[in-house]
Amino acid sequence: MSKLIVRYLNREIINAMLVITAILLAILICNQFVRYLGDAAMGRMTAKSVMQMMSIQIPLLAGFMLPLGFFLAVLISYGRLYSSNEMTAFFCAGFSRFQLLGATLIGASLTTLVVGVLMMWVEPQMTFYRERILAEAVAASPLQKMTSGRFQFIAGRYVVYAEKMSRKRDQLENVFAAEMPVKNHFVTWGVMSAQSAKQVKDPATHQEFVEFQKGYRYQGNPGEQVFQLVAFDHYGVRLPTPKIKVKRDEDYLSTVELWRERQSNRLAAAQLQWRFSMPLSVLLLTLIAVPLSRVNPRQGRFAQLFPGIIIYIVYIDLLFVSRSWVEHGVISTNLGLWWVHGIIFIIGIGLFLEYTGQFKRWRMRFVR
């Protein structure tokens, strides 16, 4: 009988966790997608880099969202069982509250294992890929980051407008470009209009250029009557060649490297403890969620959802603050983030003892 109950409880929790986590991930990914689209529209990223960034968002965010998803799943699933009196039937059949915690810890242990893999191995690699993609987006050709029908700033001093752009984003049509004055180089404005423009590479020097074709170039100062007009068939503008360089950062160092540097590097110690914190939080939040999920049938299944969310927000905020304190030397690396987990553990033990009636029995024994 108890095995059937354990399987039933874990099936309810896992199904709810998958749905809740998927909803949370969808919200965050949509928010990131809108931000990256804005960067692409402003010419900071290419369309390819936007899609690459979106492809790594799920493994990056899953390790952070799964603990919250499991916590809410326990609150919602058990709240429904309490409100429909199913939990009362389980207890009447001899299923104790300690067995309920043990059954919940089975699903929590599996979730902890998944979160541990994501935080220890997957997230560092995904973080490195993200930084690499951003660095490549910055160094990408200005034409790859342009959008037709918009004025955009490229190559440090050109404002360019293109009426149309080829599907491969390597050819512009009906192009307008304004070249701003540069100190110690030239002091007049240059304006160009051309039928088309494309990116070319000098085979000898491997230097990249934007080649404007069949147009006119006007050079002069606004307000003056003297302008220089030049008609051209081909006019090249040299593009800067930024180097792709990803700086060393503790966020994407392997867990083994962080472990080796934890004594001498505060940033490494903080990052290492943060990676351990997410899997550990699943177990600690389970200890809180089981007693907190108890509701009166008249209250409804979501009665304890708001207090649970408040506890989670305070918990995560304290972890972020502690991580910052460790990085800046406010607290020692030995204390680190562990004091936050200690507080949550004590709160969870207190709630569970109250949930099992142990505090009430102790009070009665003390009064006698």
Q: For position 187, what pLDDT does the model report?
A: 59
Q: For position 337, what pLDDT does the model report?
A: 93
> Helix (H, G, I), strand (E, B), or coil: what is residue 179?
strand
Q: For position 185, what pLDDT does the model report?
A: 55
Adjacent-strand bridge partners of 337: none
Block means of pLDDT (10 residues each) for the chain, length 368 residues? 84 93 91 80 71 84 92 92 85 86 93 94 85 72 68 71 74 80 64 81 72 82 73 77 64 85 88 93 94 78 81 94 92 91 93 79 62
Q: Beta-strand (E) ranges in the chain? A: 151-154, 158-165, 171-179, 189-201, 208-220, 227-238
Tokens representing 147? 């959008």
Angle at 162 between CA 161 and CA 168, to 5 degrees: 135
Q: The tokens 């708001």 sit on which residue?
A: 306
- What pTM value is reported for the model? 0.78
Q: For position 347, what pLDDT does the model report?
A: 93
Adjacent-strand bridge partners of 19: none
- The domain limits of the chain are 2-139+247-367, 145-238
Q: Give 121-141 as a 3 state SS string.
A: HHHHHHHHHHHHHHHHHHHCC
Q: For position 294, what pLDDT does the model report?
A: 85
Q: The tokens 């088309």 sit on which residue?
A: 196
